[in-house]
Amino acid sequence: MKTCAKVNLFLKITGKRPDGYHELENIFWPLPWLQDTVTVTMKTSGGISMECEAPGVPVDETNLCWKAAKVFLETSALPLSPHIALTKRIPIAAGLGGGSSDAAATLLELNRLTGNPLDSAKLHAIAANLGADVPFFLNPIPSLATGIGEVLSPVSSKGSCHIFLANPQFPVPASWAYKHWHEDFIDKKVSCEEILAFMKSGEWGNVFSRIRNDLEYCIFRKFQILGIVRERMEEVGISNVHVSGSGPTLFGLSSPEISAKAKPLLEEEFSGFLKCYCENRGM
């Protein structure tokens, strides 16, 4: 099963709950052109097992896919031995939702392979307990997310936008970003409703000029190289560059022509550090 990445066009922290999670107002935008692949097969015995060739990805009970499989089997009461093969393309711990997306795909594949024993409400409940972003990836369409991210409402959008990603190839755990955000360093003038209105009318330049991410100040302050990369991205024509989610991936509004020139240029200038991604529209 192919499973996509996402960016956050809006991320506002509205409070903190007693359980440690943060209340959010969030706009998820899926990136169907940047995908991992999750393949689930059934063994005759041995319990859950997993494989992944990507460096740094655990293939044991600490992996979110493994956790998803474990909870699915417990909830469905099915004594099965699934094997999960994960092929990674989405960068790890990058603010693009790769781990959450893979976990959601694991749930969907297990449910499909076992004759759909769990309805959508039960799958959603499992997903929400696994992580705040996981429910979105059960049906990754443009969405407004509230609560901790589990209360989802589809949003209207017109046309499409060409997004350019630059990943510095080091991870930033979401827990670190949320721990270090500070409400004094956010743009309180930007509203979610304003962005949603421009999405509906297809005014993507106005959408991107109003992006808000309450987490990005602490990320730019800690990892100052990201400010240098952002400045260079904007110099080569990528506009309104922001951090996606908990980072450290940077994204901005581009065009196929600009992206085709910017990708090799930036990867050469920041060789061994930066990897860029964009939709291939005949480039």
Catalytic site residue from 6, 67, 88, 263? 6
Instruction: Give pLDDT, residue 184.
Output: 57
pTM higher than 0.85 for the full model? yes
- pLDDT, mean of residues 77-82: 96
pLDDT tens digits, one per residue of 109-165? 999 999 999 999 999 999 999 998 999 999 999 999 999 888 999 999 999 899 999
Q: With bands split at pLDDT 50, 70 and 90, how would you rate the model's confidence at 102?
A: very high
The percent of residues above 70 in pLDDT, for the chain, comes to 96
The count of other CB atoms within 10 Å of the CB of residue 162 is 17
Set 36, 102, 133, 214: catalytic member: 133
Confidence of residue 282 (pLDDT cuts 50, 70, 90): very low
Residue 110 makes CB contacts below 8 A (sequence gap 6+) with 40, 68, 69, 72, 73, 82
Tell me the CB-side half-sphere exposure of residue 216, using CA atoms within 13 A.
22
Q: What is the pLDDT at residue 73?
A: 97
- Measured between alpha carbons, how far is residue 173 from residues 151, 209, 230 in Å? 23, 27, 20
Q: Which domains does the chain have, with CATH numbers?
A: 2-152 (3.30.230.10), 162-278 (3.30.70.890)
Give the pLDDT of residue 283.
38
88 is catalytic: no
pLDDT recorded at residue 180? 86
Instruction: For 233-267, write each residue's pLDDT tens digit.
Output: 999 999 999 999 988 999 999 999 999 999 999 99
Is the model's pLDDT at 55 over the cut of 60? yes
For the chain, what is the mean pLDDT? Answer: 93
The three-state (H, E, C) secondary structure of the chain, written as one string: CEEEEEEEEEEEEEEECCCCCEEEEEEEEEEEEEEEEEEEEEECCCCCEEEECCCCCCCCCCCHHHHHHHHHHHHHCCCCEEEEEEECCCCCCCCCCHHHHHHHHHHHHHHHHCCCCCCHHHHHHHHHHHCCCHHHHHCCCCEEEECCCCEEEECCCCCCCEEEEEECCCCCCHHHHHHHCCHHHCCCCCCHHHHHHHHHHCCHHHHHCCCEECCHHHHHHHCCHHHHHHHHHHHCCCEEEEECCCCCCEEEEECHHHHHHHHHHHHHHCCCCCEEEECCCCC
CA-only gyration radius of the chain, Å: 19
Q: Active site includes 119?
A: no
Q: For 178-197, write each residue's pLDDT tens digit.
A: 888 876 566 667 789 999 99
pLDDT of residue 23: 86
